[in-house]
Structure formats: structure tokens, C-alpha cells
Amino acid sequence: MNNTRVWQKLRPYALVLPAMIGILLFVVYPILYLVKLSMFKYNLLNKDKSKFIGADNYTEIFSRGDFYNALLTTVLYTVGVVVITMALSLFIALWLNQNTRFNALVQAGIFTPHIISIVSIALVWMWLMEPNYGLLNFALKAVGLPALPWLQSSSTSLLSIIIVSVWQNVGYYSLLIVAALKNIPQTIYEAAALDNASKFKVFYKITLPMISPQLFFILVIMTIGSFKVFDTVKIMTGGGPNGSTTTLVYYIYEFRTTSIGYASATGVVLMAIITVLTFIYFRLLSNKVHYQ
Amino acid sequence: MAAIEFVNVTQAFEKNVIIKDLNLKIEDGKFTVLVGPSGCGKTTLLRMIAGLDRQTAGSVLIGGEDVTDIAPGQRGVAMVFQNYALYPTMTVRENIEFGLKNNKVSKEERNRLVESISETVGLSPYLNRKPSALSGGQRQRVALARAMVKKPSVFLMDEPLSNLDAKLRAQMRIELIELHKKLGTTFVYVTHDQVEAMSMADTIVLMNQGRIQQEAAPEDIYRQPNNLFAAQFIGVPPMNVGDLGMDGVKFGFRPEGAVLTAERTDSHFGVRGRIVTREMLGSETIYQVKTKQHAFMIKCTEDQFTVDQEVFLGVDASKIFFFRQDEHRIAQDDVRHAAYMAALRGQQHE
Ligand SMILES: Nc1ncnc2c1ncn2[C@@H]1O[C@H](COP(=O)(O)OP(=O)(O)OP(=O)(O)O)[C@@H](O)[C@H]1O
Ligand SMILES: [Mg+2]
């Protein structure tokens, strides 16, 4: 009797145990370990010579100019990628939502970048952006515009990286928005037509609110993803030229051998920034989002 | 002034011709009900009036003016959709005033209209709710209010009551009839429920497979159906039909037009039969009576018989209809009518 009672109490915990073990092992433990590392002056060669230095790593972070540089670069990159991708994919989705046979083809094509490895994409774009004989400059010259140095100059390198990221993402997010658009019942638009609503009004008062949950989701996901950008930077510029594309994660990566403690502290700061950002999003926007 | 007229209208979706060469006049200020079985083209017709679908050929006139090239919002037409089609992201108030805003009605005027309309349909306490927080009946009222507030000259309704429970439906029926009296505008109401059609219509337009079968007042359609389809569509249970065995002609009588007796009586058409089923509906009882050749449904106000009982079924001459082989009704003054009457009388069998 008593045994079954106990089992009934325990059963839910037993059922979530496997998942909890996974989370503890692969999420919670690494985070705690990261926090712990961030408070050490860590010696890679001899672990015993590592020294506990409290918050010193953090004071160092906030007193170093290159951290602020990396932060600014990351913010610029994120804003660029998020704004351009959202605007473009919304635009493309609205266009794709008109059912034509041609659009079905475009839909398949536009998704392809998402399934290709970012390494291949980055390499192809590096080739396209080659200043002397790359296709992009060739095209610019063909229409009479001045050629750009692309990845070779600190003034255009971040822009180049943003372009590549947008190009890779835009298809995927377009499809997400198309799916949302297709979910809006046609009769609502018919009712709006009978209500004499202008095209702009229909878009602003009906279409946008109806897809707001998906747009909000994309905004949050893309902000987080962009803040953690690494692979594109690593392959295309290595953070350069002159640190102009050193994003936060790449910044952390640069300290991987020289100062693990400092890198860990930066990682913790990055985590905090993303958490705060997400929180702000939810606070500011969630009452504007319409959930069915 | 908004009579509606269809002139040689054809509507086809790709290769499927749904409506062919339809001519119809819907009178100004009347409550017209379009009724017919599922898929007969009622919604299609309504959408052409609203301008949501463009006809393939022919023209649609509202108030004598060809509206083919006029946008839905400019036709002075309001529509209540079958699924209401409320704007889910807007509150009840915003739903109701959306059309007014688009028509540049001033804010004070808008507020006044919304207040008075929501008073009329009993929505005042819900103005700040979203449609998802309303019951089916309340949503329906929002849909009605949204249409009414625009003061349209034509009111289109596509089965607006089909989602409601029986009691609310009966109540809304009465409210719609009163609304029509009050507004005095043209109502076009679509339903496939013939009780709704009979109870609300000034004129019923009965359709089948994209063709108009009959266009008449409810009592005329009931008393003088044009053809077999009209006879069997209007009335519950449908009209009883049997073969006369002459020229391919069929005879028919309504379930409430026959009398059941335990003893043989003298009536124009009389047969002996046996009761197979009995449905007691409260104020009336419906029996299914099996005769030698047919099975008839009979509606009686009194519940006097039991299943398996032998009964005599009698129908008066005035209650009998005849239909030609092409299913058109044979009028009383037709030369052959008397001959068919005689033939039916001769058919009396034990
Ligand atoms: N957009 C469309 N494309 C192709 N066929 C259509 C379209 N709309 C309607 N139809 C066809 O036209 C016919 C009539 O449809 P309609 O919606 O007018 O029927 P209805 O009389 O309103 O029926 P119900 O009582 O079921 O609502 C149906 O056979 C339907 O399949
Ligand atoms: Mg319909």
C-alpha cells in the first residue's frame, strides 16, 4: 500500500530524470564551470598554478577598449542583420504569397542557402567579393558604380559579413513568414475589402498583427543568433581587418589559449547581455503580439 | 434604392460552369432568401453581388447600375459571412468601426454609431473584448453590427445562423425579421435550411445546380410548387410522390395533406396500408405508412396509431399534385389534369 503511494509521488520525477541528467550535464554544469573559470587566472599548462582572483577578470573586461569595440561591432552586426533580414524576408514572403507557378519554384530556390554549410557559402562569397576580379565589383563597374574593397577594408568588411548572413538567412525566414501568411483566412481579407480598406490599411491593420507572433519569434531568435555570430567571421575575415569584424564570440575565441579565465568572464557577460535583451523584448513587445 | 439584378450571368471556376445564363431580379427593400441544397451556387451568387468574385459573363446591377467594375467596398453592400470573418486582432469596437474609419467618418460620429449599434444588438458590455473571448452568438452579433453600422443599401448574409444552437437560432431569426422591418433595406439571405427560408422570406429563390427552380413567396412555393424539386425541397417531411402509371406522370401530396383512419372512408385517393414507423414530435406525429406500391410519410396532429397497425389513408382531390415526366407541375386548368385525377381515383386498391 505505502509502496504504491511513494511510487506515485516519485513517478513524475523519475520520468523527467533522464532529461534532467542531460540538462544538468550539458547545460547547467558547463555554465557553472564557465562562471567558476571566469574567476580564475587559469594556467593551461599546470592546473595547480591557477589562481583565484575573484572579480578581477570582470574589472579588466570593462576597462579594456577592445571589449567595447567588439561589443559595438556585434551590436552593429546584429542590428544590420536583423533589420535587413526581417524587412527583406517580409517583402519576399508577401510576394511569394501570391500563388503562381513561378513562385513555387522560387520558394524552393530561396530555401537552398539554408541547407548549405556556412563554410561553403562564406568561401563562395569571398570569391565573389574579391576586389580585383570578383563578380560583385565586376557588376558594380558594369553599371558605372565605383568598385568596393569589400572584406579588405575596415570600412566595408562588417557590411560584407552582414550581406552574407542576410543572404543565408533570408530564405528560411521568408518561408516561416509565408507559412504564417497562408494561415490567415481569406475571408478576413474579403471582409476588409467590403469594409473599403486601402491596401496599406489591410497590411498594417490585418496582415501585420496576424503574423506578429512569427515576427516576434524571428526577432528574438535572430537577435540571439546574431549576437553569437562566429563562423562567418572566422572564415571570411578572422576578425580583421584591424579588428573591424571582431565580434564578441570571436573576441572570446581569440583568448582561448592566452587567458582562459578572461575568455570565460567575457562569455558570462555575453550570456548576461543576451538574457537582458530577450527580457527587454518580451517586456516591450509582447503586448503588441497577437496570439490566437 | 437598391434592387439587384442579374442579367444573363454565367459563373465558371476554370472549366466548371457553376451558374449558367442566370436572370434574377431581387426587389428593393425585400427580404429575399436564397435556398437550395449544398453546392448549388448560393454563396457564389452572393459573392458576385458583393464583388468578391467577378462573373465570367453577363452583368450584375445594383440600383440599376452595372457594378461589374466597382470595388466591393464601394458598392454600398455589407455582408455577414458564414464563419463571421471577424478581425481576430481587433476588439469588438475596432471590428465595428473599421469600415467607418475607412470611410472617413469623424470620431464623434463613429462613437455615436458604435454606441447605438452595440446597444441594439446587446454588445455594449463586450466592446473592449477580442472576438476570441466571445461566444458563438456574441460573435454573430458582432458580425451583424459590423454590417449594420455602415448603413448599407444591401445586406448580404451567408448562412449566418448555421453555427448557433436551435434556441438561439430561433431567437436570432425573429431579431433579423425585426431588423429588416426597422431598416427597410434589401436583405439577401442564404440558407440551406428551408424552415429558415419559410419563416423569414418575403420572397424565396429556390436554386438547384446553379439554376433557379422557383422564385415566389413562401406560401406560393408551398402551395404551388413549380416542379418536383420545389415540391420535395420545401416542407418537412418532403412531399410524398408516387407513379401514376400513365404518360410517366407522377402524383404527389404533402404529409400533412393526408388523413389516416382506422375505417375505410371515401376520399379521392384512398389506399390501405400498414404503419411501419412512428415519430412522436410533441405537437405532431409522423407515421410512415407502407402500401402495396409505395411508402408514404404522414403527419398527424393526433397520435392515434401504433406501429404495425392497419390503416386507411385518404387524400382530398384539392390536396393532390401532378407532375409531368419532365418534372414540371401540371396546373389545375391543364387539359389533362381531369384525366389524371380520374386515373388516380381508378387506382384505388385494397
Ligand atoms: N473558388 C472556387 N473554385 C472552384 N469551384 C468553386 C469555387 N467556389 C465554389 N466552387 C464550386 O461551385 C459550386 C457552388 O458553390 P457554392 O459555394 O456557391 O455552394 P453553396 O450553394 O453556397 O453551398 P453550401 O450550402 O454548401 O454553402 C460548388 O460545386 C463548388 O465546388
Ligand atoms: Mg455556401
Can you give A50-97 as a three-state secondary structure string? CEECCCHHHHHHHHCHHHHHHHHHHHHHHHHHHHHHHHHHHHHHHHHC
| B134 lies in some domain | yes
Percentage of chain B beyond pLDDT 90 is: 66
| B288 lies in some domain | yes
Q: How many domains does chain A have?
A: 1
CA-based radius of gyration for chain A = 24
- pLDDT tens digits, B67-86: 999 999 999 999 999 889 99
- pLDDT tens digits, B229-247: 999 999 889 999 999 888 8
B248: left (phi over 0), alpha (psi -120 to 50) or beta: left
CA-based radius of gyration for chain B = 24
**For position A137, which CATH number holds?**
1.10.3720.10
Cα–Cα nearest to A119, from A230, A232, A222:
A232
**Residue B85 near residue A185 (C-beta atoms within 8 A):** yes
pLDDT at res. A258: 81
Nine-digit cell string for A47: 592546473
Judge: B88–A210 Cβ closer than 8 Å, yes or no.
yes
| A180 lies in some domain | yes
Which residue, judged by its Cα, is nearest atom 30 of ligand 1? B39
Lowest-pLDDT range of A10-14, A185-189, B160-164, B329-333: B160-164
| A230 lies in some domain | yes
Say if strands B203-208 and B31-35 run parallel, antiparallel, or are unpaired. Answer: parallel
Which residues make beta-bridge pairs with B349? B271
Looking at the fold, whether B242 and B219 belong to one and the same domain comes out as: no
Looking at the fold, whether B109 and B209 belong to one and the same domain comes out as: yes
Note the ipTM here: 0.82
Looking at the fold, whether B203 and B276 belong to one and the same domain comes out as: no
Whether B47 lines ligand 1, by a CB cut-off of 6 Å, is no
Looking at the fold, whether B75 and B132 belong to one and the same domain comes out as: yes
Looking at the fold, whether B218 and B127 belong to one and the same domain comes out as: yes
d(CA A8, CA B183): 65
| A17 lies in some domain | no
Select from B9, B10, B34, B44 the residue to mutate for testing ligand 1; criterion: most ligand atoms less than 8 Å from CB: B44
Judge: A196–B78 Cβ closer than 8 Å, yes or no.
no
Q: Does B76 touch chain A (CB under 8 A)?
A: no
| B86 lies in some domain | yes
Helix (H) or strand (E) segment spanning residue B310? strand B310-315
Cα–Cα nearest to B261, from B251, B272, B277, B269:
B272
Domain, as residue range, for A121? 61-288
**For position B285, which CATH number holds?**
2.40.50.140
The three-state secondary structure class of B306 is coil
- In this predicted structure, the answer to whether residue B213 has a pLDDT above a threshold of 90 is yes
pLDDT under 70: residue ranges of chain A: 1, 292
CB pairs under 8 A between A and B: 69
Helix, strand, coil content of chain A in percent (nearest 5): 75, 0, 25
pLDDT at res. B279: 92
Looking at the fold, whether B8 and B35 belong to one and the same domain comes out as: yes
Q: How many domains does chain B have?
A: 2
| A19 lies in some domain | no
pLDDT at res. A292: 64
Domain boundary among B191, B223, B255: B223
Looking at the fold, whether B186 and B261 belong to one and the same domain comes out as: no
Looking at the fold, whether B195 and B98 belong to one and the same domain comes out as: yes
Whether B73 lines ligand 1, by a CB cut-off of 6 Å, is no
d(CA B244, CA B248): 7
| A214 lies in some domain | yes
d(CA B24, CA B16): 21
Looking at the fold, whether B324 and B207 belong to one and the same domain comes out as: no
| B178 lies in some domain | yes
Looking at the fold, whether B184 and B292 belong to one and the same domain comes out as: no
**For position B14, which CATH number holds?**
3.40.50.300
pLDDT at res. B102: 92
| B301 lies in some domain | yes
Looking at the fold, whether B129 and B164 belong to one and the same domain comes out as: yes
d(CA A101, CA A262): 55
pLDDT at res. B85: 92
d(CA B83, CA B163): 8
| B176 lies in some domain | yes
pLDDT at res. B1: 60
Q: Which residues of A touch B99 (CB under 8 A)?
A: 194-197
| A1 lies in some domain | no
Domain, as residue range, for B147? 4-223
- pLDDT tens digits, B266-299: 888 889 999 999 999 989 999 999 998 889 999 9
| B57 lies in some domain | yes
Looking at the fold, whether B262 and B114 belong to one and the same domain comes out as: no
pLDDT at res. B349: 58
Domain boundary among B223, B255, B271: B223
pLDDT at res. A112: 84
| B94 lies in some domain | yes
Judge: B72–A205 Cβ closer than 8 Å, yes or no.
no
| A234 lies in some domain | yes
**Residue A218 near residue B95 (C-beta atoms within 8 A):** no
Work out the angle between the directed axes of helices A157-182 and A212-227 (0-180°, nearest 10).
150
